[in-house]
Structure 1
């Protein structure tokens, strides 16, 4: 075993992530400690920190871990740009609407920022991930899972979303209202009355079986909902194109 402290905090964190990436979800916390030759207590503390910050996720059945949403997001940010139908559709949307358009993926019940518009960046990526009721992106994710208490232990994705909702103070009644609103409208909306003030809408991109894969979100400066709502038909058309491209294998980055 390495002398305690031989691996710095950063080196240990990177080592844990590398081992999970190499070994897959059957590698347990004890296995990580043995492989890295560090004390189990040190490995456990680091793993718990990485899980809390969404760099790792606990696998629900295999006893190990998988890389989390924030690692996937980093991988997307450093990947070389490529020409794709997704980029073309987003560029076209930004030109047609003149507004900020973001592409967001949903991975295992988590929000992953796939393409953030520099024109009007998300006001808080952390809030988008953790306070689901306070953004159109989060409300769309909330609406994709049941709001009834009896269904919360049926699916790891449902449990993840429900846990995030509870931690941000969303009641079952509020969750139910969000589900009804999105089902009625076919999209999510939210008005941010903060210092900057902005109106946002998010339209879903779904798999043929109905699974929520991603969304296109549009944000406008100012708290007037009509400024964002008038673009919904255009966004829905683009979302349909991306959903079709995903189902036919033309676009794989959304999954």
Structure 2
């Protein structure tokens, strides 16, 4: 007897990944096979009928906070980081469309030649038409991280959950599992516990925004085959952050 397809837990989600996730084994920039692998993960979820938004960081190309720490003016450094997210979004769009998934890159910084400007109602319509929306350029403002941008867009798009794809980590731990073999993984953790215990999920502004809007955050291993799809089917190992 054929196995019945599992109904996805959520119908509309936002996937947040770091720019570093696109580096693969390299120490910098984009690793095309890695971008392709992540695109295939996204396609597998898209094929389930789930509406998907994405936010990708820019740390593989330029990190604003690191630039300002080296003497660069913070606002300029942050804008450079935002432009890096546009480059990553275009790379992901290219891979997804190569797999037959219709995609829109939507930038908070106006650059009409390469991306659509952010207009909320238009972005919602793209989702309704089953296009993957990749939000680039952060919030369009300095001093805000792509974590905050992801939470903001998830709220604006009425996403049911925020998925945080991590490399080498299968959830939220009380300490770094890479350096502490006795680190304890949480199945569930509250927003307030994340803030009080300084758990490394998102920055404090993003966590507070998710908490105020009751938006669950699911931390899962991005480098595990079918990790993204597995969570939506209720399988695999992950941590849920919620009230």
Structure 1 length normalisation: TM-score? 0.28
Indicate the structure (1 or 2) with the bigger Cα radius of gyration.
1
The higher-RCO structure (CA 8 Å, 6+ apart) is 2
Q: Name the one with the larger helix percent.
A: 1
Structure 2 length normalisation: TM-score? 0.29
